[in-house]
């Protein structure tokens, strides 16, 4: 497709369960970002990939959260032992990346998000 695709669009799970959220970025975009957004708040940075590697995972809240991007395209955000506080919309975005040192980041292209509800 032309845009960033996220699946599932909605996920309801029980406390303690394992969840995977998938992001399919725009073809050719080397950078991929995960954000989390609670109601009425701005997106909160979780992790950023440049290619296959996590360039910055400083936003992951704890070790229950993990993300992979094994082939430099599709990414999966994995949440273990889900808690009610994990309920939020998880947004994925892609871009051409910051580019060479000293240049500026361009725009991010966002998916529609995956709404996670932990009961």
Partner 1 sequence: SQQGEEDPQALSIQEGENATMNCSYKTSINNLQWYRQNSGRGLVHLILIRSNEREKHSGRLRVTLDTSKKSSSLLITASRAADTASYFCATFLYNQGGKLIFGQGTELSVKP
Query: Would you count residue 96 as binding partner 1 (CB under 8 A)?
Result: no
Give the interface segment with partner 1, choosing from 18-26, 53-61, 71-79, 80-88 (CB under 8 A). 53-61
Q: Of residues 6-45, which lie at the interface with partner 1 (CB under 8 A)?
A: 31, 33, 35, 41-45
The neighbour count for residue 59, using CB atoms within 10 Å, is 15
Q: Please spell the DSSP secondary structure of 50-92, one letter per residue.
A: ETTEEEE-TT--STTEEEE-TTSS-EEEEE-S--GGG-EEEEE
Query: Would you count residue 108 as binding partner 1 (CB under 8 A)?
Result: yes
Query: Would you count residue 90 as binding partner 1 (CB under 8 A)?
Result: no
Q: How far apart are CA 98 and CA 66, in angstroms?
A: 23
Kindly tell me which of 27 and 58 has the beta carbon lying closer to partner 1.
58
């Amino acid at each position: 497709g032309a845009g960033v695709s996220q699946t599932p669009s909605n996920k309801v799970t029980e406390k303690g369960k394992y969840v995977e959220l998938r992001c399919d970025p725009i073809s050719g975009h080397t950078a991929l970002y995960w954000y989390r957004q609670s109601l009425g708040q701005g997106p909160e940075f979780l992790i950023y990939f440049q290619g296959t590697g996590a360039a910055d995972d400083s936003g992951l809240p704890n070790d229950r959260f993990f993300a992979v991007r094994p082939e430099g395209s599709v990414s999966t955000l994995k949440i273990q032992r889900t808690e009610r506080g994990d309920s939020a919309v998880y947004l994925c975005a892609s871009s051409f990346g910051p580019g060479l040192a000293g240049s500026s980041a361009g725009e991010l292209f966002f998916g529609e998000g995956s709404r996670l509800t932990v009961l």
